[in-house]
Amino acid sequence: MGIYLSSPKTEKTSEDDENAELRFGLSAMQGWRESMEDAHTAILNVDKDTSTSIFGIFDGHGGKVVSKFCAKHLHKEVVKSEAYANGDLGASLENAFLRMDEMMKGAKGWKELQILGEKSSKYDSHGNGHGSSNARESDATDRSNTVQTESNDDNWNAEEGPHSDFTGPSSGSTAVVALIRGNKLYVANAGDSRCIMSRRGKAINLSVDHKPILELEKQRIQNAGGFIHAGRVNGSLNLTRAIGDMEFKYQTELPPDKQIVTCCPDIQQVDLGPEDEFIVLACDGIWDVMSSQGVVDFVSQRLPTAKNLSSLCEEILDHCLSPSTLQQEGCDNMSIIIVQLKKHGGLASGSAESSL
């Protein structure tokens, strides 16, 4: 059946957690696709010194390894950056996105991608991974044979030996990441996964879907020597920003943000207020079926009686799943995270408490 299974895999990976400020639920499902190429990160209190939480959805294409790499490493690069230590959270997010492309090059990057591809022959020399994937970030983190990542950053590209000239994977991944500290929300996005917020029941888009139809994206592509054909970058890729996809990043004289496809994210900062209830991050498998407002309405109607947020996520996945492969919408991998802002508008208790 080509890229589709004869029947969908509807088993779900789900999780819930909370702290004093937030509670979240997430769920991921392979669906009709031959393999699961989504991954995610959801971490409360990501460092020891500040009340900072980070959430990310990574939608792989051409394989699972880049999305898994991002789920495993991106939040670590956010926290260890000098910008993060200085309180510049937007810059720390941008730095982490750029670091993903840097770290996947060379001998160490090649080894790590091979491990994340489960050391199988399904991982080729160009970095393409194929096969099923557990979407949880901890799946990769807990592997005892995983390349150690706590060493000096320079070691990623300095290691010599076989594949030291590896230029990075030709497969890629979107990345949409939300970082929350107190009443500050930062959203970084590269690709067509999306983050939205419910403000008193109204959907607020906190990211832009990076598609070839956007004029600014089209201009960058053409200036870098690329082209748009049939709505795709160079006739192959249907999004204009992604981590990985090194075949579109060969212009050595251009900086990362000027390449045909760039990993450089858009960054939005939001001051959270009493009207802000919850945020949702999801891959395009959700947004192909539901609008931003449709998701907000779906969640808002069910939130008062939901046993937990992951059950709401699971309902959305089932709602979006197509009954057949006769149409493309509803046949993709699906991943979603709902984050409720307990001390703002999204109080589980329904009280009027506010941190503002």
Instruction: Kindly state the DSSP code that residue 92 receives in the 8-state scheme.
Output: H
User: Which tokens is 105 given?
Assistant: 């090059």
Query: Which parts of the chain sit beneath pLDDT 50?
Result: 1, 119-153, 348-356
* Coil/strand/helix, residue 196: strand
pLDDT at res. 72 = 96
In degrees and rounded to multiples of 5, residue 167 shows phi and psi of -90, 0
Tokens 């920003």 label which residue? 241
What is the β-pairing status of strands 243-244 and 172-173? Answer: antiparallel
In degrees and rounded to multiples of 5, residue 128 shows phi and psi of -85, 130
Tokens 């591809």 label which residue? 117
Tokens 């802000």 label which residue? 276
Burial class of residue 73 (count of CB atoms within 10 Å of its CB; 0-12, 13-18, 19+): buried
Angle, CA of 36, 120 and 70, to the nearest 5°? 50
Radius of gyration for the chain, computed over Cα atoms and rounded to the nearest angstrom = 19
Q: Is 78:86 a contact under the CB 8 Å cutoff? A: no
Burial 181-217 (b: 16+ CB within 10 A, else e): bebebbbbbbbbbbbbbbbeeebbebbebbbbeeeeb
How far apart CA 191 and CA 177 sit, in angstroms, is 11
What amino acid is encoded at 63 in this protein?
G
CATH superfamily label, 4-341: PPM-type phosphatase domain (3.60.40.10)
Q: How many CA atoms lie within 13 A of 40 on its CB side?
A: 28
pLDDT at res. 123 = 35
pLDDT at res. 152 = 45
Domain boundaries, the chain: 4-341
CA neighbor of 79 nearest in space, from 68, 89, 66, 69 = 89
Mention every residue, 6+ apart, whose C-beta is less than 8 A from residue 154: none
Which residue spans within 149-245 are E strands per DSSP?
172-173, 175-181, 184-190, 194-199, 202-205, 228-229, 232-233, 243-244
What pTM, to 2 d.p., does this model score?
A: 0.88
Residue 336: strand pairing partners: 27, 282
What amino acid is encoded at 345 in this protein?
G
How far apart CA 12 and CA 1 sit, in angstroms, is 22
Tokens 């789900």 label which residue? 14
pLDDT digits (tens, 9 = 90+) for 302-343: 999 998 999 999 999 999 999 999 988 999 999 999 999 987
pLDDT at res. 154 = 52
How far apart CA 65 and CA 252 sit, in angstroms, is 24
